[in-house]
């Protein structure tokens, strides 16, 4: 998995990479500029819109100047506005400035006429990871002007004004797209920064992952190439018992869709046998959404250990009896998945947290998480609280949302890269519960089940939303689960 290093460590990684590869920092800036232009050109080459690049005094500004040159070579109309005397800018900025070809309109900000043609493309290269204080003076004036404009606005590496590892501390450029180099900076993953970052793109500039390893500080980014290694393989003699027997408890009357979705998702994730146990006097009267689902009647006296994994919480409501809830932890001694009202009940009876079997997986969304651990000032605090909850109770906490966080009991924090806004639909969480429970039931180590469940869930959402967009529903996500295994070549 890709380590997410701090903004300060970026310079050290650059230096280590440049000295090992025997290249200059200017060469690395050139790689960054080339990767940016290669990424940008396919979707702007036909529109022929003027491009305005705003360059600050550091290497982020230097990237902007190098990009101005490359775009000019590609016959684009480029305006470069720089902020500080060239002699006071970083060396790589200066070297690039002196390489600018003719035909680019170049202005210093304090004498710039302030005109930006309608429908232009704005590229923000004012500050990168070197920002160390809130914007003020001309920088603040500029970003305020740019934030009022519409159109396509792209930040290089990080929206200017946003610190790499903390919550925003003042005015920040509002990008529609952020193209960040090599790895995502932590603050780009915070939900409260979504409006500043826009769509996030990670551009490879050639620095191999192992240059980041020695700076690793417990945060990781989960990419497609990482996931295969977490999967179990099965052979042609495997039978349905090998694929696990799982159970979903619950769903009060009127919410039986929840366990149906979880159960159906577990089947599509590969579970051999899937049972659902609706909270009804006669659970056998329920007709499951697919005939492959089996019905089960639970009582607070019977052991659940015949199952390989169970999922609890979806559709429960808050009327569930505390003794019944508590009995589950005594009757099932293996890792389980706890979601939705299962989490709300834990918030109501926090003394039960200690009774949860070790390595169980808790899957709160932000609101459920707040009920469990209280309010957080920002996502940084939330990430730390999730990690503390995981460590203190020896459970895995999956904090759902864009870039879902997996907080492991050993302190590692993993951010997911799959999924999109269309997954914010009723039942999406029930599907995740089903997938996680399925992986646990298939004998995956809980950490691997969490990683695979979260990644495949997001990927299934991406695949399903391609044709459905806003009309995507949770059942569509389930129908796309098999395609995720095909895409990852997990056979
Ligand atoms: N491997 C990579 O990811 C590469 C990244 N590159 C790019 O380089 C930037 C980081 O460049 P750096 O020069 O370290 O930082 P910035 O460009 O963000 O600028 C820092 C300078 O700005 C001053 N500063 C900081 N905050 C403010 C502020 N609020 N107002 C005014 N000035 C500010 C600071 O100087 P001070 O002495 O004034 O503190 C710095 O001079 C990275 O983001 C990438 O875009 C490389 O191109 C190559 C590879
Ligand atoms: K920037």
Q: What is the pLDDT of residue 46?
A: 78
List binding-site positions for K(+). 60, 124, 160
Closest residue to atom 22 of ligand 1, CA basis: 58
For residue 346, the CA-to-ligand 1 centroid distance in Å is 45
At 234, the pLDDT band (50, 70, 90 cuts) reads confident
Domains and CATH numbers, the chain: 12-215 (3.40.50.10260), 227-487 (3.40.1190.20)
pLDDT of residue 239: 79
Quote the pLDDT of residue 467. 94
Average pLDDT value over all residues in the chain: 95
Confidence of residue 274 (pLDDT cuts 50, 70, 90): very high
Output the CA 29–ligand 2 centroid distance in Å: 14
- Can you tell me which atom of ligand 1 is nearest the CA of 160? 18
Tokens for 175?
A: 């990008």
pLDDT (mean) for 347-360: 97
User: pLDDT tens digits, residue range 177-228?
Assistant: 999 999 999 999 999 999 999 999 999 999 998 899 888 889 999 999 999 9
Residue 238: pLDDT over 80: no
How remote is the C-alpha of 449 from its chain's centroid? 17
Ligand 1 atom with the shortest distance to the CA of 66: 47
Tell me what pLDDT residue 107 has: 97
Which residues are near ligand 1 (CB < 6 Å)?
10-11, 14, 28-29, 32, 56-63, 90, 127-133, 135, 139, 156-157, 181-182
What's the pLDDT at 237? 80
pLDDT of residue 45: 77
Q: Which ligand is nearest to the CA of 156?
A: 2
pLDDT band for 241, please (50, 70, 90 cuts).
confident
pTM of the model as a whole: 0.94
Which range, 239-248, 279-288, 391-400, has the best average confidence (pLDDT)?
A: 391-400
Specify the higher pLDDT residue, 449 or 114.
449
Q: How many CA atoms lie within 13 A of 227 on its CB side?
A: 25
Q: Which ligand is nearest to the CA of 122?
A: 2
Q: What percent of the chain has a predicted confidence (pLDDT) above 70?
A: 100
pLDDT digits (tens, 9 = 90+) for 452-463: 999 999 999 999
> How far apart are the C-alpha atoms of 120 and 141, rounded to whole Å?
19
pLDDT tens per residue, range 61-102: 999 999 999 999 999 999 999 999 999 999 999 999 999 999
pLDDT confidence of residue 416? 97
Q: Is 320 within 8 Å of 341 (Cβ atoms)?
A: yes
Of 14-23, 367-376, 452-461, least confident by mean pLDDT is 14-23
């Amino acid at each position: 998995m890709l380590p997410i290093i701090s903004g300060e460590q970026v310079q050290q990684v650059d230096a280590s990479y440049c000295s090992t590869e025997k290249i200059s920092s200017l060469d690395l800036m050139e790689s960054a500029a080339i990767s940016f232009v290669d990424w940008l050109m396919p979707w702007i080459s036909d529109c022929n819109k003027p491009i305005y690049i705003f360059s600050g005094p550091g290497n982020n500004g230097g990237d902007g100047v190098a990009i101005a040159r490359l775009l000019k070579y590609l016959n684009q109309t480029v305006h470069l506005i720089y902020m500080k005397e060239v002699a006071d800018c970083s060396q790589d900025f200066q070297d690039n400035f002196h390489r600018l070809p003719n035909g680019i309109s170049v202005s210093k900000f304090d004498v710039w006429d302030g005109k930006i043609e309608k429908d232009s493309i704005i590229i923000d290269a004012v500050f990168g990871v070197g920002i160390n204080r809130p914007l003020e003076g001309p920088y603040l004036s500029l970003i305020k002007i740019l934030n009022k404009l519409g159109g396509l606005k792209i930040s290089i590496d990080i929206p200017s004004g946003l610190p790499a590892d903390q919550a925003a501390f003042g005015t920040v450029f509002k990008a529609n797209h952020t193209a960040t180099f090599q790895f995502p900076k932590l603050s780009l993953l915070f939900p409260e920064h979504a409006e500043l970052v826009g769509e996030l793109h990670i551009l490879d500039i050639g620095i191999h992952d192992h240059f980041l390893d020695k700076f690793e500080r417990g945060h990781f980014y989960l990419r497609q190439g990482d996931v295969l290694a977490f999967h179990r393989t099965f052979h042609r003699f495997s039978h349905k018992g090998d694929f696990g027997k799982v159970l979903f408890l619950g769903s009060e009357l009127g919410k039986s869709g929840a366990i149906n979705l979880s159960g159906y998702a577990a089947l599509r994730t590969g579970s051999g046998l899937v049972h659902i146990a609706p909270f009804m006097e006669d659970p056998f009267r329920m007709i499951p959404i697919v005939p492959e689902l089996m019905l089960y009647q639970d009582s607070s006296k019977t052991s659940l250990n015949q199952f390989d994994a169970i999922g609890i919480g979806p559709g429960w409501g808050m009327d569930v009896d505390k003794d019944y809830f508590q009995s589950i932890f005594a009757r099932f001694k293996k890792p389980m998945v706890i979601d939705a009202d299962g989490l709300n009940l834990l918030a109501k009876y926090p003394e039960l947290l200690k009774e949860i079997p070790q390595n169980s997986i808790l899957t709160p969304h932000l609101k459920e998480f707040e009920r469990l651990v209280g309010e957080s000032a920002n996502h940084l605090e939330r990430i730390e609280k999730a990690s503390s909850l995981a460590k203190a109770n020896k459970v895995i906490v999956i904090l759902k949302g864009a870039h879902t966080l997996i907080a492991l009991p050993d302190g590692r924090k993993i951010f997911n890269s799959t999924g999109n806004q269309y997954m914010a639909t009723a039942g999406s969480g029930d599907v995740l519960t089903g997938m996680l429970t399925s992986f646990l039931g298939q004998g995956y180590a809980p950490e691997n089940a969490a990683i695979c469940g979260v990644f495949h869930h997001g990927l299934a959402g991406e695949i399903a939303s391609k044709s459905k967009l806003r009309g995507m529903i949770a059942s569509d996500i389930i129908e796309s689960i098999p395609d995720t295994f095909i895409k990852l070549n997990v056979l």
